[in-house]
Structure 1
Amino acid sequence: MMSIFIYEHITSGALSAEQLSDSLMHEGNMMINALCQDLLALGHSLTIIREASLPHLFDDDKRLTTIYVSDLAEFTKSWQQCQQIFNQFIIIAPETANTLANIVANLRQNGKHVFGCSPEAISLFTDKYQTFKHLKSHQIATPQTFTVEQWLNEINSDEQQRWISKYRDGVGCEQTFIQTSTQLRHFLSNLSSSILSNTIIQPYIDSQSLSLSLFITAEDIHLLSVNIQHMQQQQNQLHLKYCEVKRNDLIDTDVAIDLAKKLHQSTAGLYGFVGVDLLKTENQLYIVDINPRLTSSYAEAGMRHYGNPALLLHQEIIKTFADNDRF
């Protein structure tokens, strides 16, 4: 079986010149570790690129080849070589600054097969304001969303009303704040114009934070897990404390699948692992965000209590290899 190249951006060495938070590095490490473990268990040969200072993964398994890089120059050279050598890729990267969309687009332009969403779908859901407009145009419930300019010019709310502000292209809870109208105006007055243009504002909704872990194929939509996102507020900033997976008791499976189908029907190019962030109130499910990629919930141990969560990906890989063999 041909080797599949798994690229995880945070641990790859692409950011070796930058100062990364421990939590971000931990998240990237957990995801690539989990995915490699699952695909190795299903008999695949894998290759990864990894920053040399990080702990080694599965050194005793000869089916995993690791290319270690020590600095940005080594990474750039090795990654360029890998894009020439390998034909099958799985990409784990943040949407921020179009990182994920650009990597996938470049690979596909060079005739490579990427097991994941199309660059167009990724680009759409990278921008949370465009996501809001897209969902609204397809009658999919989503929180009202404003640019900073719209909010300042159009909204005359009660001073104590609470609002959520976040980056338009942020991932997770990066720079996500909950503030009253008064606090938010003061907060915005201290931001640079570039940050203001990359910020969106939504009304705070008293709700339960959930997410769906999906795997989408050409034939079907599979619900891998309903997850609780346990949030923590430190001063005015929100953080994801931890994710509790396999809480499918919280949403009727038919309801979750119907919502996923409506999303899928509205958007070409959704394929593979997709995460959908939700707010659940007493009588409404709101889609807050769509993550067109593998998300951190995949790495939770609970995802493996009922089987290998990479089985559907494995089946898609086998189909792709079989199709290639016919030509």
Structure 2
Amino acid sequence: MKILVFEYITGGGFAGQSLPTGLAAEGGQMLQALLHELKALPGIELTVMLDSRCQRPNVLTEAEVVRVNHPDIRTILPKLLTATDCFWPIAPETDGILHTLAEIAAANRTPTLLSDPATLAVCADKLASYRVFCTRGLPAVPTRSLVDDFADWRGRLVVKPVDGVGCEGARLLTAEQFSDWRNRCSDPMRYVVQPYCEGRPSSLSALFAGGRAWLLSVNRQLIEVVDGGFALRGCRVNVAVASRSLYQGWLDQLVVGLPGLFGYVGVDWLETADGGGQLLEINPRLTSSYAGVGQAIGINVAEQVLRCLDGVPESFQTDSQTVDIIFNH
């Protein structure tokens, strides 16, 4: 099987622009982990898009790399897609980037290791995702549009782009700061607002296929408040939990609401003091935690995603190792 791999940050998504070093480091870690797993599988031929400014990963030969320096990926991607059997993009949902990549692949009739475009659109919209959580009776952090009324909310508020990724663009504001920021905002439809909730930032790593879900690991996110915003410093992958059934139950309900979910998916949530939690958002792609999941639970995650193309992954037992991932930025 020929697989085209495109990690947006290191793969040329910022060609013609300054390369964001922090995001490039995170993207590079995910890319290295994916390539390591794919290289361990027989019968896989790789083509990997790489920004001309980025160093070639050691696991790749130069023949497997396509150097990218053109500022518009869409001009070169269709040709590469015609020469491959499968497309594996790792890209942000922001500004419809991931959705656009999926649509380009669909137009070229190239199978993509992602959820379908309609599902990606829901996951990219934090309000739409919140509605899915509510419809399925899942606990979730209340989420409203910036144009809504907040008279019944007290305390600090978190404002974030409706299609932002992780900590990107999120701000922690007092009620007074929020009122001032809201009055100055020129594009209120681009933002959602949530009450600031105490809890441990966490995520779930999971596989989805055929309307079913499989929990891989429960993870802790190391997030700091910096200058009124949030910064992800790292992840602790596959932490010990009292019972996995609570989280598997969340995933089972989520896939009923979004049956088009496919492959590796991350779900961000807050662990509350009572041992429960509140869901935040759905990341329908490889996430930062993915870089440690395979080592932590003792399986080749990429192999299981490929098995999902045939319906379901094989049965596997997970190890109890915890892996720490630290971002140096």
TM-score > 0.5, shorter chain as reference: yes
SS in 2 for 1:187: helix
Residue 16 of structure 2 contacts residue 69 of structure 2 at CA under 8 Å; is this kept in 1? Answer: no
Give the Cα separation in 2 of the matches to 1:290 and 1:157: 24
2:244 — aligned with what? 253
Compute the displacement of 1:157 (Å): 4.4
Structure 2 gap segments, 5+ residues each: 312-329
Residue 226 of structure 1 contacts residue 251 of structure 1 at CA under 8 Å; is this kept in 2? Answer: no
Residue 225 of structure 1 contacts residue 303 of structure 1 at CA under 8 Å; is this kept in 2? Answer: no
2:66 — aligned with what? 67
Residue 219 of structure 2 contacts residue 237 of structure 2 at CA under 8 Å; is this kept in 1? Answer: yes
1:142 aligned to 140, 143, 146, which one?
140
Measured against aligned partners, the alpha-carbon deviations of 1:266-314 in whole angstroms (never above 9, x if no partner) come to 11210100000011113332110001111111113x6414233323124
Alignment of 1:1-327 (within 5 A): 2-43=1-42, 44-58=44-58, 61=61, 65-72=64-71, 75-151=73-149, 154-158=150-154, 161-191=155-185, 193-194=186-187, 196-218=188-210, 220-247=212-239, 249-250=240-241, 252-283=243-274, 284-300=276-292, 303-305=294-296, 306-316=298-308, 319=310
1:325 — aligned with what? none
Compute the displacement of 1:201 (Å): 0.6
Compute the displacement of 1:77 (Å): 4.6
Compute the displacement of 1:190 (Å): 3.2
Distance 1:236 1:59, change over 3 A: closer
TM-score (norm 2): 0.87
Compute the displacement of 1:61 (Å): 4.9
Percent identity, aligned pairs only? 26
TM-score (norm 1): 0.87
SS in 2 for 1:144: coil
Give the Cα separation in 1 of the matches to 2:59 and 2:157: 48
Give the Cα separation in 2 of the matches to 1:69 and 1:289: 31
Aligned residues, how many? 308
Compute the displacement of 1:141 (Å): 1.4
Residue 162 of structure 1 contacts residue 180 of structure 1 at CA under 8 Å; is this kept in 2? Answer: yes
Distance 1:150 1:251, change over 3 A: farther
SS in 2 for 1:149: coil
Q: Report which stretch shifted further, 13-22 or 173-182.
A: 13-22
